[in-house]
Structure 1
Amino acid sequence: MTASSLFSLVFLLLIISLFSAALASTHGLNDQSLIQQVVSSDGHDHDILMSAYHQFSSFKKEYNKTYLTQEEDDYRFGVFMSNLLQARRNQNLDPTAIHGVTKFSDLTPSEFCRKYLRLDGQIQLPKHLKTLPILPTDNLPTAFDWRDDDAVTGVKDQGSCGACWAFASIATVETAHFLANDKLVDMSEQQLIDCSHECTDDKVVCNRGCKGGKHILAYSYMLKVGGVEAAKDYPYTGIDTDSCKFDENKIVASIYDFNNIVADEDQYAANLVEYGTVAVRINGSMMQTYTGGIACPPCSDNFNHEVTLVGYGSDRHWIIKNSWGTDFGENGYYMLCKGKLTCGKNPEAIIPFANMTKATY
């Protein structure tokens, strides 16, 4: 880097820092960890020195973003500029991934968490929840992906409804049902959002539709009511309603049990290969900037997102089905390096088991 370009970079970051401080004072924007724009992984400063307004205009066009007033547009531009502060930091913390402008780049971290990571913290596990026996791991496939067997439905989009818990549980049941019945059926997350209000044994945490929930409680609900409808019969709206429209006569899939997996990633892999896709909890905060590659973020005890393991790569990185649409990450998927699923306190990995059914589709 030349002396002149280094000076330009420092000057730009100084201007952005001052602008961010003013923005925080004006709008009460107190977030310290802000998302970044596209940056060069090799340390060159070309991208970061591009016109911020040009990047913002391109962002709005690509993601079809419009704002009701010029004041709101100006505010979002300020947020977008503020996100440059985190550019190098996220890339340096997570160099094997690619971090950049995403459809979430006009959101502050608190807005992003509120809309997409609505998940309560640690819960008391159900008393009846059993842990699966230890499986041998010596002869696991080098790489494995349930998508290769057409056992995984397409990536879905929860929108701004904080119901990742419903999407993770439905995704695993879809695969479990496929393995039991040789039929891949797109099932209804909206049924869970509208109808599943189960709580933990201590009543501290409950499923609350778009306001958050737990996949463990979703499985309990499916056991209680007998199953789940197809998405075509109970379509997704992405909003909370006061009405549960569940029709037991339209059940297309059911489970007879769901079990925990011992907190060991080799066991996660063995159970994934043996029994099907696995619902897990992760920290999704840095996913706001993720555009591709294999993410390897710092460990965290703050599990705020639920997702589905569908496979792993030859280096045992996890292939994760997310629920933010195909315009997130790698065509809707998130690649996570080995070791990050069990490095926090009290990790969870749950797998359901489906009944054979005579339902028509």
Structure 2
Amino acid sequence: MKAVILVLVLVAVVQATSLKDILKAEFNAFKLKHHKTYQDASEEFKRLQIFVENKKLIDTHNKRYVAGEESYEMGVNKFSDMTPEEFKTLVLTNLNPADSQEGIDYIYNPSSYVNLPSSVDWRDWGAVNPVKNQGSCASCWAFSAVGSLESHHFITSYQRVSLSEQNLVDCTRGYPYYNQGCSGGWPIEALNYVRDNGGINTASYYPYEGQDNTCRYNKNNIGSKISAVIQIASGNEAALASAVANKGPISVCVDASLFQYYQSGVLNEPLCSQSVDHCVVIDGYGTDSVGGDYWLVRNSWGEYWGENGYIRMARNRNNQCAIASYAIYPLV
């Protein structure tokens, strides 16, 4: 009996050592892929421990996904060595809903939603620029505003243009827009600025820096102008679908606290809150055989996150993650 117990203990030790080695190898591969370096051995050990805990969460979730109990798959990405708190501090933003209604020119609320296509993808029409990367600056709001504006500029003029998020980061802080640059802001205030200012610069003239700087707008390098800012009837997913189908890509703000681990599939999380902390662009919608109805959402964390920089979020599920609460687009 003692011999059996000894064998079982030895097997457990070997398995534990093997698992430890596997996780260490996965961590080393993660560091290499995402160009991670740490200030000292202590910091690296801390990041390894966080990575291991995140990997356990990912693996447990994915077992349920394989069993058909989840609608989306988790995976290791550039955020896998961060705690949820660090992730929120680095890339998410604090948004005060009281500021989200300022400067609206019109409300989009169609009386009928019949004859909408079953699926829409504005990428198929050439109206969507490549996925961008906001870096460690919480400027998602600027990327959301610019992403929608670039598409509407193309739809109106058939001319593709890359516009300057940095122009918005630098020039909408303080009165009268009160965005906070790399500390957060609202797409509505960004578009209010473009309307009031008479335009926004091109990205080639005013490139992205990923940090707060002084406003250097130049009226001789305008990439696009807008005449009005339109809000979709708040919380109305049918109106949002109509706007996406008939107008173009839409700027929205959502609860993105669960984005840290997303890899693929339709993010359907009933516990997702109505408190928004990240802004993105809806480029279309459709229906997935596993995850059901979804919104096709373009993020600003680079093309190596999610589905080539995109996430599909649950549609027609009671405005999940507040996706239809703060939807806007520019009139070009």
TM-score range, shorter chain: 0.7 to 0.9
Give the equivalent residue in structure 1 for 2:237.
265
2:281 is aligned with what amino acid? T
2:205 is aligned with what amino acid? D
2:172 aligned with 1:196, yes or no?
yes
Give the equivalent residue in structure 1 for 2:23.
52
- Gaps of at least 5 residues in structure 2 are 1-7
Give the equivalent residue in structure 1 for 2:142.
166
Task: Kindly report which structure 2 residues correspond to 1:262-341, keeping only aligned pairs within 5 A, or say none.
Answer: 262=233, 263-297=235-269, 298-315=271-288, 316-339=293-316
Deviations along 1:295-346, one digit per CA (max 9) or x if unpaired, are 1123302211100000012353111110000010011011112135724668
Match of 1:66 among 37, 40, 43: 37
Q: TM-score, normalised by structure 2?
A: 0.85
Please state how far the C-alpha of 1:74 moved relative to its aligned partner. 0.8
Please state how far the C-alpha of 1:136 moved relative to its aligned partner. 2.7
Given that 2:139 and 2:182 are in contact with CA atoms closer than 8 Å, whether structure 1 keeps it comes out as yes
Supply the distance in 2 between the matched residues of 1:269 and 1:213 (Cα, whole angstroms). Answer: 25
Give the equivalent residue in structure 2 for 1:83.
54
Provide closer, same or farther for how the CA distance between residues 70 and 173 of structure 1 changes in structure 2, counting only shifts above 3 A.
same
2:326 aligned with 1:351, yes or no?
no
Supply the distance in 2 between the matched residues of 1:51 and 1:302 (Cα, whole angstroms). Answer: 38
Please state how far the C-alpha of 1:138 moved relative to its aligned partner. 1.6
Given that 2:141 and 2:187 are in contact with CA atoms closer than 8 Å, whether structure 1 keeps it comes out as yes
Given that 2:266 and 2:314 are in contact with CA atoms closer than 8 Å, whether structure 1 keeps it comes out as yes
Provide closer, same or farther for how the CA distance between residues 341 and 67 of structure 1 changes in structure 2, counting only shifts above 3 A.
farther
Please state how far the C-alpha of 1:87 moved relative to its aligned partner. 3.0
Please state how far the C-alpha of 1:86 moved relative to its aligned partner. 2.8
2:74 aligned with 1:96, yes or no?
no
- Gaps of at least 5 residues in structure 1 are 1-6, 16-45, 355-361
Supply the distance in 1 between the matched residues of 2:318 and 2:20 (Cα, whole angstroms). Answer: 36
2:57 aligned with 1:106, yes or no?
no
Given that 1:119 and 1:162 are in contact with CA atoms closer than 8 Å, whether structure 2 keeps it comes out as no
SS at match of 1:273: helix
Task: Kindly report which structure 2 residues correspond to 1:242-253, keeping only aligned pairs within 5 A, or say none.
Answer: 243-253=214-224
Deviations along 1:166-196, one digit per CA (max 9) or x if unpaired, are 0000001101111111101011001001111
Supply the distance in 1 between the matched residues of 2:274 and 2:32 (Cα, whole angstroms). Answer: 37
Task: Kindly report which structure 2 residues correspond to 1:138-217, keeping only aligned pairs within 5 A, or say none.
Answer: 138-197=114-173, 206-217=178-189
Q: TM-score, normalised by structure 1?
A: 0.79
SS at match of 1:320: strand
Given that 1:119 and 1:214 are in contact with CA atoms closer than 8 Å, whether structure 2 keeps it comes out as no
1:182 is aligned with what amino acid? Y
Please state how far the C-alpha of 1:90 moved relative to its aligned partner. 4.8
Supply the distance in 1 between the matched residues of 2:172 and 2:190 (Cα, whole angstroms). Answer: 6
Provide closer, same or farther for how the CA distance between residues 187 and 128 of structure 1 changes in structure 2, counting only shifts above 3 A.
closer
Compare 96-105 and 308-317 and name the one that shifted more: 308-317
Task: Kindly report which structure 2 residues correspond to 1:23-62, keeping only aligned pairs within 5 A, or say none.
Answer: 51-62=22-33
Given that 2:104 and 2:230 are in contact with CA atoms closer than 8 Å, whether structure 1 keeps it comes out as no
1:333 is aligned with what amino acid? Y
Supply the distance in 2 between the matched residues of 1:228 and 1:88 (Cα, whole angstroms). Answer: 44
Provide closer, same or farther for how the CA distance between residues 95 and 278 of structure 1 changes in structure 2, counting only shifts above 3 A.
same
1:235 is aligned with what amino acid? P
Please state how far the C-alpha of 1:123 moved relative to its aligned partner. 2.2
Please state how far the C-alpha of 1:95 moved relative to its aligned partner. 1.2
Please state how far the C-alpha of 1:292 moved relative to its aligned partner. 1.0
Give the equivalent residue in structure 1 for 2:3.
none
Supply the distance in 2 between the matched residues of 1:52 and 1:340 (Cα, whole angstroms). Answer: 37
Give the equivalent residue in structure 2 for 1:25.
none
2:267 is aligned with what amino acid? A
Query: RMSD value over aligned CA atoms?
Result: 2.6
Supply the distance in 1 between the matched residues of 2:184 and 2:222 (Cα, whole angstroms). Answer: 24
SS at match of 1:58: helix
SS at match of 2:258: helix
Given that 2:103 and 2:189 are in contact with CA atoms closer than 8 Å, whether structure 1 keeps it comes out as no
SS at match of 1:123: helix
1:107 is aligned with what amino acid? M
Deviations along 1:260-305, one digit per CA (max 9) or x if unpaired, are 1112212111111111110111111111001111111233022111
Q: How many percent of aligned residue pairs carry the same amino acid?
A: 32
4+ residue runs over 6 A deviation: none
SS at match of 2:97: coil
